[in-house]
Structure 1
Amino acid sequence: MTKPILELRHVVTKVNRNTPEELTLLKDLNLTINEGDFITVLGSNGAGKSTLFNTIAGSMPLTSGDILLRGESIVRESEETRTRFLSRVFQDPKLGTAPRMTVAENLLLATRRGERRGLLPRHLKRHMPEFKQLTSGMGNGLGERLNTPTGNLSGGQRQALSFLMATLKKPDILFLDEHTAALDPKTSRELMQTTNDRITAENLTCLMITHHLDDALKYGNRLIVINDGKITFDVSGEDKKKLTQEDLYGFFGEIE
């Protein structure tokens, strides 16, 4: 029987508190995430998808409720501390990488995610064969650019690097925040297939925000819909496989 890796209990997130502009973004939201879940997250703009990610990651403080990692509350932990169990890939390929550092240097940083960093020898050459094998598997020429500054990569290569960095040290939870949205259709399809292959091979627990209904239906074992700060639909397994795009349009017509 699968065990919950993360639980959100009666989570409320407000912004501009105690002002006339106060808004409640998450409204008594409850969610249980089991180990190995690959959850696609749908919702219209402003529904609360990114707020959900930001609240779990600690970049946005929750107003009330609790978040538990394997039964232990993490609400008092800083955003930095939460990187020990959480990795995230953003929509913008420029986020998540250091542009003046080479591909190999960025990957080396990723090997130390969640650790205290001090003045230690880099041992970069020792890792080069590993990095070569890892990047060559992306199929987009990244393996030939280990010594290239990341700022000189194409958008697709840079996003592929961000994904590799996020998964290099197997995270307890992986957030993909529309990570293919800024790419051209062909590059998006290739990265999405690579994403699915790696998540499956590593049995990663992942939540993926997407506006592509076909990706939401094709990938993952579970699908949730967020509307007005609440989870209004949650389906998994065989019931998810039976869903069609028309079913999802019944929940919200705005998503394209």
Structure 2
Amino acid sequence: MSKPLLELQDLVVKVNRQTNEELRILDDLNLTINQGDFITVLGSNGAGKSTLFNAIAGDLALSSGQIKLHGNDVTHDSVEKRTRFLGRVFQDPKLGTAPRMTVAENLLLAERRGQRRGLRPRHLKQQHQRYQELTAAMGNGLEQRLDTPTGNLSGGQRQALSFLMATIRRPELLLLDEHTAALDPQTSQSLMTLTEQRVSQAQLTCLMITHHLEDALTYGNRLIVLHQGRITFDVTGAAKQALTKEQLYQFFATID
């Protein structure tokens, strides 16, 4: 039986606090993420999906509640401290990479994420062949652009680099925040295929926000639906495999 990796207990995030317009974006949300889970996350706009990711990553302070990693309280840990166990890819290809740094420099930076900073040789040339092999697996010509500033890449190449950077140190938890939404259909499908391969091969634990019902049904072993800051549907294993797009449409119709 899989062990809990991350436990989210009664998470509350409020905006406009102590006013007549106070709103709970997360409303006593509870979720246990087991090691090896690949969870697809669905929900309408404003349901709290990105807020959930920001709370897990530490970008957003909780109004109340607790986050535990391997049973240890990390609720008040800084963003920097959480990068030791967390990798994230955003919807916008421009986020997550340094545009003036080359592809190789970005990869080296990602490998040293969460480590103590100091003045030391980069040894970048010694990593060149390894980075070439790593980027070649993406199948989009990224391996030919190791010395190219990231800002000069195509959107698909830049997002592929963001994905590599987020997974290069095998994070304990990977957050994919609609990471294919800004790409054309062919590039999006290619990145999703590579995502599934890397998550499976590295046995990553992953949460993936998507608006595509097909992707939510196709990928992962578990599917959750957020509505008004709470998880209203959580299905796994054979029950998830048996789900149809029509059933999900019907479910959304009943909660809207």
* TM-score normalized with structure 2 length: 0.97
Name the amino acid aligned to 1:176.
L
Equivalent in the alignment of 2:237? 237
Work out whether 1:50 is the aligned partner of 2:54.
Answer: no
Equivalent in the alignment of 2:91? 91
Whole-angstrom distance in 1 between the partners of 2:89 and 2:252: 25
Structure 2 unpaired stretches of 5+: none
Whole-angstrom distance in 2 between the partners of 1:95 and 1:22: 30
Name the amino acid aligned to 2:236.
S
Q: Structure 1's 155 and 253: CA in aligned 2 closer, same or farther, altered over 3 A?
A: farther
Equivalent in the alignment of 1:174? 174
Q: How does 1:28-39 map to 2 (within 5 A)?
A: 28-39=28-39
Q: How does 1:77-226 map to 2 (within 5 A)?
A: 77-226=77-226
**What RMSD, in angstroms, separates the aligned Cα atoms of the two structures?**
1.0
Equivalent in the alignment of 1:7? 7
Equivalent in the alignment of 2:22? 22
Q: Structure 1's 162 and 241: CA in aligned 2 closer, same or farther, altered over 3 A?
A: same
Whole-angstrom distance in 2 between the partners of 1:177 and 1:88: 7
1:253 Cα offset (Å): 4.9
Equivalent in the alignment of 1:59? 59
User: Can you list the C-alpha shifts for 1:89-123, whole angstroms capped at 9, x where unaligned?
Assistant: 00000000000100000000011011121111111
Whole-angstrom distance in 2 between the partners of 1:117 and 1:153: 28
Name the amino acid aligned to 1:173.
L
Q: Structure 1's 131 and 253: CA in aligned 2 closer, same or farther, altered over 3 A?
A: farther
Q: Structure 1's 116 and 253: CA in aligned 2 closer, same or farther, altered over 3 A?
A: farther
Which 4+ residue blocks in structure 1 deviate beyond 4 angstroms?
none
Residue aligned with 1:250, SS: helix
Whole-angstrom distance in 2 between the partners of 1:156 and 1:124: 24
1:22 Cα offset (Å): 2.0
Q: How many residues align?
A: 254
Name the amino acid aligned to 2:132.
K
Residue aligned with 1:116, SS: coil
* TM-score normalized with structure 1 length: 0.97
1:247 Cα offset (Å): 0.9
Structure 1 unpaired stretches of 5+: none
Work out whether 1:73 is the aligned partner of 2:87.
Answer: no
Whole-angstrom distance in 1 between the partners of 2:128 and 2:50: 35
